[in-house]
Amino acid sequence: MRVLITGGAGFIGSHLAEELHKRNHFINIVDNLSTGRLENIEHLIHSPRFSIAVESILNETVMDRLVSECDIIYHLAASVGVELIVNKPVEVIETNILGTEMVLKLANRYLKKVIITSTSEIYGKSDKTPFKENDDRVLGPTTKNRWSYSSSKAIDEFLALAYHKQRKLEVVITRLFNTVGPRQTGQYGMVLPRFVVQALKSQPLTVYGDGNQTRCFAHVNDVVDALITLAETSTAVGQIFNIGNDQPISILELAKKVKEMTSSNSEIKFVPYDIAYEEGFEDMAIRIPDLTKVKALIGYNPKYSIDQIIKSVIDYFLIEKLVY
């Protein structure tokens, strides 16, 4: 197949491109490199079955050509990371909403299936757990930038489902929960790579808030396998699926594990949210996905434990010598 991946030089996109390339598909990625990196896909660049367009997905001329030439689209391009959400809300909203609108419009023009990657942020600050795909959303006020990302991705979902309902476009929506692994950086607030780098440099591990907030971390390989399988499953069309891991760990526990597994003498330093991000910043206390639906349809079962996940990130930074 001829596959188009938007955001294909990013953390998840590059792993997806790599796996699809292994399966002998022709891969074309589009990425403006605002958060993606050429280093992520440099091992693919010289393949005759791989090409990259360094361009914005808002460039309709380029996107029209790319969509017309592909068989399926994985739409991963988005502004992600809490720091971007807080510091560059205009770019977050425009990239997420206008970019997805462009992809869906052109996919509809050429009748191409689209796999949309959404986010666990959709659920907002609901205290109901685990989160099910049809749960209500609970958000803060529009005066808090924190909620712009969740709302922009919700518009993406509404638009995708509208194209499916009204114009019969084949779409599959996936809500990703804290995907981590090699190639992810802590540049935009991602917690695990930030902890690993701090530990390897013997710097304080900065835990925001009191550290009691819990998350479920899924290895990128598990997530990529689920994305590809859902894309190949006809009965997934028109539906929304949580993808991630359902084993929770507190951020403080995560910091302690990273410190132990790196044999680091780093201290753990608590930083108030007001200092880490902005005054009045709100975080979710708990975020656990209900995976019943995706397990039932495709037999999804995450293979990586939290220790294996942490080790893969540590090994990546040591092998690539990215902390020296």
C-alpha–C-alpha distance, residues 324 and 319, integer Å: 11
Is 149 catalytic? The answer is yes
C-alpha–C-alpha distance, residues 304 and 302, integer Å: 6
β-pair type (218-219, 113-119): unpaired
Q: Which of 155, 157, 151, 152 is nearest to 174 (CA)?
A: 157
Q: Which of 286, 302, 295 is nearest to 120 (CA)?
A: 286
β-pair type (26-30, 113-119): unpaired
For residues 145 and 93, is the Cβ–Cβ distance under 8 A?
no
For the chain, first and last CA: distance in Å?
41
Task: Give helix then strand counts, H and E, for the chain.
Answer: 11, 13
Catalytic residue among 74, 110, 123, 149: 149
Amino acid at 109: R
C-alpha–C-alpha distance, residues 134 and 124, integer Å: 13
- Measured on CA atoms in the order 61, 108, 233, 296, is the torsion positive or negative? positive
For residues 242 and 175, is the Cβ–Cβ distance under 8 A?
yes
Query: Following DSSP, what letter does each residue of 217-263 receive, concatenated?
Result: -EEHHHHHHHHHHHHT-GGGTT-EEEES---EEEHHHHHHHHHHHTT
Q: Catalytic residue positions?
A: 149
